[in-house]
């Protein structure tokens, strides 16, 4: 299986299938630092990244924003002193699509660059 971070997002429209419970369990094993909270009835992927200061957190948030724009798939990004919370979900389907897991893996890869 190709690593998630090496895959590309596919165009996703309303009506695209959400990940199944089995897919969710399998994909979450590949992203051990991520959680899958439900907010307002929508299953999402979320991770908090920690940094030494605001400037490092800000730089990382900018990298995530550049990645999101390049893939045309946009997360929630909360920038705070010493941390960035990134939340992925697919707005068009009101839940999680494989694209969200690909983007979470790509977000993790930014921190390892």
pLDDT tens per residue, range 34-84: 999 999 999 999 999 999 999 999 999 999 999 999 988 999 999 999 999
Question: What is the pLDDT of the chain when averaged over all its residues?
Answer: 91
Kindly report the pTM of this predicted structure.
0.90
CB count in 10 Å sphere of residue 31: 18
Q: Are 57 and 51 in contact (CB under 8 A)?
A: yes
CATH node for 19-112: 3.30.1360.20
Token code pair at residue 56: 């490092």
CA dihedral 70, 72, 77, 83 (to 10 degrees): -30
d(CA 112, CA 24): 24
Q: In the predicted model, is pLDDT for residue 13 greater than 70?
A: no
Say how far residue 66 (Cα) sits from the centre of its chain: 13
Q: Which helix (H) or strand (E) holds 88?
A: strand 83-88
């Amino acid at each position: 299986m190709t690593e998630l971070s090496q895959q590309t997002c596919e165009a996703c429209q309303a009506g695209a299938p959400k990940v199944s419970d089995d897919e969710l369990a399998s994909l979450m094993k590949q992203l051990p630092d991520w959680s899958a909270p439900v907010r307002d009835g929508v299953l999402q992927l979320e991770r908090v990244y920690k940094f030494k200061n605001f400037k490092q957190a800000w730089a990382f948030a900018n990298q995530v924003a550049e990645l999101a724009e390049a893939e045309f798939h946009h997360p929630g990004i909360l920038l705070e002193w010493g941390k960035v919370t990134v939340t992925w979900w697919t707005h068009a389907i009101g839940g999680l699509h494989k694209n969200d897991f690909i983007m979470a893996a790509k977000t993790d890869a930014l921190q390892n660059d």
